[in-house]
Amino acid sequence: MRFAYVNGRFCAHPDAAIHVEDRGFQFADAVYEVWSVRDGRLMDADGHFQRLSRSLAELRIPEPRSRPALERIIRELLRRNRVSNGLVYLQISRGQARRDHAFPKQAITPTIVLTCKRLDFAAADRRAETGIGVITVPDQRWARCDIKTVNLLPNVLAKQAAYEAGAAEAWQVDADGYVTEGSSTNAWIVTKAGKLLTRQADNGILHGITRARILDCAQRLGLEVEERAFTPAEALDAREAFLTSATSFVTPVVSIDGKTVANGAPGSLARALRETYLAEA
Ligand code: PMP
C-alpha cells in the first residue's frame, strides 16, 4: 500500500511510524478494529464502530475522533490506496508517555494508526468451496478476550501452530475442555440434530460482529440456535463445523486435528449462511 494514516496525517506507507515510547508498542495498551471493504463499502460498519467504542471504554482510553471523522479518514485512505475490495485496520493506543506501567498521570493524546490492504475475495470464495482444516490448542489468553486489544501473542502462536500443522486455523480450548474460539475467528458447529451452536458471548471470546450477523441470519432462516460452549469431541461428531470473521465471512471447517468432520465436505447450512450474509452485507 502507498499510504497510511498516523496521528492526523496521511504519510507514505514505508515511512509510517509511531514513537518507541508508545504504550501500544510498550504494553499492548491499545485496541483495534478491522472492517472488510466490499465494492468500496465498509461491511457491518455500525457493529465494528460500536465494538471499537466499547473496547476503548473498557480500557478507559478516550475516543480520539468522532465516528464521522473516522469514516472520512477511512474513505480518504481507501481512495488514496485505490482499495475497493480488502480490509481497513485501525489501531488506537493510549498514547505516548515515559515508560511506566500505570496510566500516565497527565492526560495524553491517543495514538491513531490506520492502514488498508487489498484482499482477494475470489480466493476466499474458493476456500469456502473446499473448506479448511483446524487444529485444537490450549487457550492461553487472559480473562478479557471480549476486549479487542492488540495483546495477541497467544493468538499469533496458535495461528503459527496451525500453519505448521498444515491447517488454516487453531481452535483454542479452555481449561474445562470447551472450544472458546479460533485465533482470529469465532467457532460454530451444527449438531446431528440440526442445531446451530456457538459459544455464548462471555469474556472468554471476542464478540464477533460477523458472529452476531450470522445469529441474525440463522434466526431468519428458521434454524434452531443455541449459544453454548461445545467440546472438540462434539465438533468431530457434528454434521457441520464452520468459522466466522469479518474477512473470511463464513468458512466451512472440514477437519479437526486431522480427523474429518462428517463426510469431509462443506455443509449446506454453512453455505446457506455464507450466501445469506453476503447477499445482505
Ligand atoms: N475472534 C477473534 C479472536 C478475532 O480476532 C476475530 C477477528 N477480529 C474474531 C473472533 C471475529 O470477529 P469479527 O467477526 O468481528 O471479525
C-alpha cell at 274: 455464507
Measuring from each residue's beta carbon to the nearest atom of ligand 1, which residues come in under 6 Å? 34, 155, 181, 184-186, 206, 208-211, 244-246
Average pLDDT over residues 82-99: 98
pLDDT exceeds 90 at position 112: yes
Instruction: Write down the residue that cell numbers 475470489 correspond to.
Output: 122
Counting ligand 1 atoms within 8 A of each CB, the residue from 184, 249, 273 with the most, and so the one to mutate, is 184
Instruction: Write down the residue that cell numbers 515515559 correspond to.
Output: 98
Gap between the Cα atoms of 21 and 166, Å rounded: 38
pLDDT exceeds 90 at position 281: no
Average pLDDT, the chain: 97
Which residues have a catalytic role annotated? 148
Q: What is the DSSP string of the chain?
A: --EEEETTEEEEGGG----TTBHHHHH--EEEEEEEEETTEETTHHHHHHHHHHHHHHHT----S-HHHHHHHHHHHHHHHT-SSEEEEEEEES-B-SS-SSPPSS--PPEEEEEEEE--HHHHHHHHHH-EEEEEEE----S-TTS-BS--HHHHHHHHHHHHTT-SEEEEE-TTS-EEEESSSEEEEE-TTS-EEE--SSTTS---HHHHHHHHHHHHTT--EEE----HHHHHTSSEEEEEETTTEEEEEEEETTEESTTSS--HHHHHHHHHHHHH-
**pLDDT value of residue 192:** 97
List, for residues 218-267, the tens digit of each pLDDT value.
999 999 999 999 999 999 999 999 999 999 999 999 999 999 999 999 99
Q: Which atom of ligand 1 is nearest to the CA of 183?
A: 3
Residue whose Cα lies nearest atom 4 of ligand 1: it is 184
- Interval between CA 66 and ligand 1 midpoint (Å): 23
Contact 274, 250 (CB under 8 A): yes
> Confidence band (pLDDT; 50, 70, 90) for 82?
very high
Contact 258, 137 (CB under 8 A): no
What letter represents residue 162's amino acid? Answer: A
Average pLDDT over residues 193-216: 98
- Interval between CA 105 and ligand 1 midpoint (Å): 33
Kind and range of the H or E run holding 253 = strand 249-256
- Interval between CA 106 and ligand 1 midpoint (Å): 33
Contact 135, 256 (CB under 8 A): yes
pLDDT exceeds 90 at position 104: yes
- Interval between CA 186 and ligand 1 midpoint (Å): 6
Gap between the Cα atoms of 169 and 159, Å rounded: 6
Residue whose Cα lies nearest atom 6 of ligand 1: it is 184
> Confidence band (pLDDT; 50, 70, 90) for 81?
very high
List, for residues 13-64, the tens digit of each pLDDT value.
999 999 999 999 999 999 999 999 999 999 999 999 999 999 999 999 999 9
List, for residues 117-160, the tens digit of each pLDDT value.
999 999 999 999 999 999 999 999 999 999 999 999 999 999 99
Q: DSSP letter for 30, please.
A: E
Gap between the Cα atoms of 59 and 51, Å rounded: 13
Gap between the Cα atoms of 274 and 249, Å rounded: 7
- Interval between CA 187 and ligand 1 midpoint (Å): 10
> Confidence band (pLDDT; 50, 70, 90) for 181?
very high
Contact 132, 59 (CB under 8 A): no
This prediction has a pTM of 0.97
**pLDDT value of residue 1:** 87
Q: Which atom of ligand 1 is nearest to the CA of 48?
A: 15
Q: Which atom of ligand 1 is nearest to the CA of 246?
A: 16
Q: Which atom of ligand 1 is nearest to the CA of 51?
A: 15
